[in-house]
Amino acid sequence: MVNVNNMATHEHDYHPPGLQHQFEDMKQQEESVALGMWAFLVQEIMFFGGLFTAYLVFRSRYPMAFAAGSNHLDAFLGGLNTLVLIVSSLTMALTVYYAQKGKRMMQVWLIILTMLFGTTFLVVKYFEYSDKYHHGLVPVTGLNKRTKAADPNAPKTEGTYVNTRSEFQWHDEKGDKIILEAREKGYLTPHEEIGYFTNGELDNNKVRDKVRIFFWIYFVMTGLHALHMIVGLGIMMWLLWTAWRGAYSADYYSPVEMSGLYWHFVDIVWIFLFPMLYLLGRHFLAGGH
């Protein structure tokens, strides 16, 4: 004879894979997780939004200085990193797809590919930062390469920078020429007239300080983005381990989906950073207006 009470007890004790005890069912859990993740992403948008606003305010005041700074960034490496992150978004999206299908090994391989692309991005960023370090373009005194002339009486050759105090250095004769030409044509903003010139003469120290603002924003924004990428790689390591153990299936894949949302957010932030920092204003020093 079937014991109805025992059947009811067993049905009550059953939990779908991945269901946490504080939720009534998988639908409620998925909705709660998605709400929490989107709330987190919204505050991240507001966080980066403040930095984007700072960039726009200062660039509107000193567009020529920002153009000069932008021309000292490597647009090829920036474009390469953009491509790398776009492809990593594809592999992340495919990871979610195969998690929904319950294909464990496809998840594992795609997570590994995503991590390789993320690591490639950070390696490229390391070479960019290293170049700024060697050329004295880090806006913090003490974080640039210390250089000195072999012979104090020897003339400095073009492109040779002497930086005994590890300070921010700026040497751009072409940029200075463009600023003077822009002034003659009436292109400079009122802030630039005050910010670049002293007694009607171009003040190299003033120009350097305005370009330094650009590099401050560059390092803060790209540095925070790189930090988010490192956090994303940590998430991918955890996701790789759990996917290897077969934790995700058609019934339970929300951790993969939420991790994918974070990864896509980091990629989208870079999609905005690349043109703002690397491309806008480059036409000034290329002969455009």
List pLDDT tens digits, range 199-244: 888 888 888 899 999 999 999 999 999 999 999 999 999 999 999 9
- Contact 171/197 with Cβ under 8 angstroms? no
Residues whose CB falls within 8 Å of the CB of residue 111, separated by 6 or more in sequence, listed in order: 95, 236, 239, 240, 243
Domains and CATH numbers, the chain: 45-286 (1.20.120.80)
List pLDDT tens digits, range 139-188: 988 888 888 765 555 555 555 567 778 888 887 777 788 788 888 888 88
Among residues 117, 118, 116, 121, which one has the least CA distance to residue 81?
Answer: 121
Residue 8's pLDDT band (boundaries 50, 70, 90)? very low
